[in-house]
Amino acid sequence: MIPRILLAVTAIFAALPNLNSAEPVSTTKPAATQKVTVGGGCFWCVEAVLQRVNGVKKVVSGYSGGHVPNPTYEQVCTKLTGHAEVAQVEFDPAVVKLDALLDVFFAAHDPTTPNQQGADKGPQYRSVIYYANDEQKKAADAAKERAKKEWGATIVTEISPLKEFYAAEAYHQNYFNLNKNRNPYCSAVIAPKLHKLIEKGIIKE
């Protein structure tokens, strides 16, 4: 009986890992991504710019800031729903800080003109940052102050809490990358903007 017990105990210990030689277990959790929602004209442009920022994981074009649930693009274009065309940006704060991301946002559009970006006119094209928490609000306020110094003018960018985000229709997603050789708007408006920002080292190719 005793030999059997000894054999069983020996087998149990043999199955256990060697604690002296085992690799240390990391207690560090992977950095969680964050999301911020911004609008600065046509969401095709905003999406294309922010997709080219290191640390950005995903950009979804959509609508925020209105009073009509689940709006369609056609409804938003009537200027009656209250929504802005926006891009919801998922990013890794270990790679790109929100401050830097917002600086790119302000460099990529005109935040001094209300409800207009170039030929695109209407409240849906307003400059806006929808924040998810107090930390994002502080970052947005600080970025707006930096933009004021950079532009030397009053910044009209709205800074408001995010209440809802509705993803736009599928054909709006990843628009420039899929349509840059098919839609004249891409070649006439978006491509030159990207080229300018790439030349300045603000975004990657």
Report pLDDT digits (tens) over 19-30. 444 444 444 555
31 confidence band (pLDDT: 50, 70, 90): low
Annotated catalytic residue, options 42, 45, 77, 186:
42
Whether 4 has a pLDDT exceeding 80, the answer reads: no
The structural domains of the chain, ordered by start, are 28-199 (3.30.1060.10)
Q: How far apart are CA 68 and CA 57, in angstroms?
A: 29
pLDDT band at 16 (very low <50, low <70, confident <90, very high): very low
- Percent of the chain's residues with pLDDT above 70: 85
What are the beta bridge partners of residue 131? 161
User: Judging by DSSP bridges, how do beta strands 158-161 and 127-131 pair with one another?
Assistant: parallel
Residues whose CB is less than 8 angstroms from the CB of residue 184 and which lie 6 or more positions away in sequence, other chains included = none
Average pLDDT, the chain: 90
The answer to whether 42 is a known catalytic residue is yes
96-111 mean pLDDT: 98
Alpha-carbon distance of 61 to 91, in angstroms, equals: 15
| pLDDT greater at residue 135 or residue 31 | 135
H-assigned helices in the chain: 2-15, 43-50, 73-77, 98-107, 134-151, 175-179, 184-185, 191-199
CA neighbor of 143 nearest in space, from 131, 132, 52: 131
pLDDT higher than 80, residue 107: yes
pLDDT digits (tens, 9 = 90+) for 125-176: 999 999 999 999 999 999 999 999 999 999 999 999 999 999 999 999 999 9
pLDDT attached to residue 29: 53
